[in-house]
Every structure is written in C-alpha cells, then in structure tokens.
Amino acid sequence: MSWIAGIRNDEVYKVKKRPLDPRWSQQDLQVLLGWCASAQALGWTEQRSFNVAEALVMKKKNHGITWSQGALLEDMELLISGEEHKA
C-alpha cells in the first residue's frame, strides 16, 4: 500500500505506508506527505525523503528535539531552504 505524497510539476509522487506515531493528526500526515513529494521532486529517494519529512514533522511537534546525524540535519535544512525559495 502507498500514500500519494503529492504532485510536483505534473509528476505524482508516492511513498509506502509506514507506521506513524498514533498521536499524529491528519494534518501532520498531510504535512509529511507534502515534504516527501517536495524532496522526491528534488531527486531524493523515497526513503531519504520520508526520513527527512518525518524528522521535520517531529521537530515541529516536539520543540527542542535534536538529532546527531549530520546528513539528516543537512537534508532538513536543504529541504526547508528549497521550500522557502519557492514561496
């Protein structure tokens, strides 16, 4: 089973359904999927896009959370800065 993550430049992006924190709202899921579609539109793999999107939602929901993985932090910053340039 897959979720439709979103459409970017007439391309449909999907991610495999994965278990999420049951406290997440429908809006959290929609935000996650939007980040996944944006990351995949940048050419990232499904797994990489999902990991970064999940971390971004977790960061928003759990203020003060940090990660020690430099690559994840760099990807989070890249995705956020890419979205800011589109706005």
Encoding tokens for residue 1? 């089973």
Give Cα 72 to chain centroid, integer Å.
11
Q: What is the pLDDT of residue 26?
A: 96
Nearby residues of 85 by Cβ (< 8 Å), 6 or more positions away: none
| Full domain range(s) for residue 36 | 2-86
| Angle made by CA atoms 37, 58, 34, in degrees to the nearest 5 | 15
Residue 57 CB partners (closer than 8 Å, separation 6+): 24, 28, 31, 32, 35
pLDDT of res. 46: 97
How confident is the model at residue 82, as a pLDDT? Answer: 76
pLDDT 10s digits, 10-59: 999 999 999 998 999 999 999 999 999 999 999 999 999 999 999 999 99
Asked whether the predicted pLDDT for residue 87 surpasses 50, the reply is no
Number of domains making up the chain: 1
Residue 5 DSSP SS3: strand
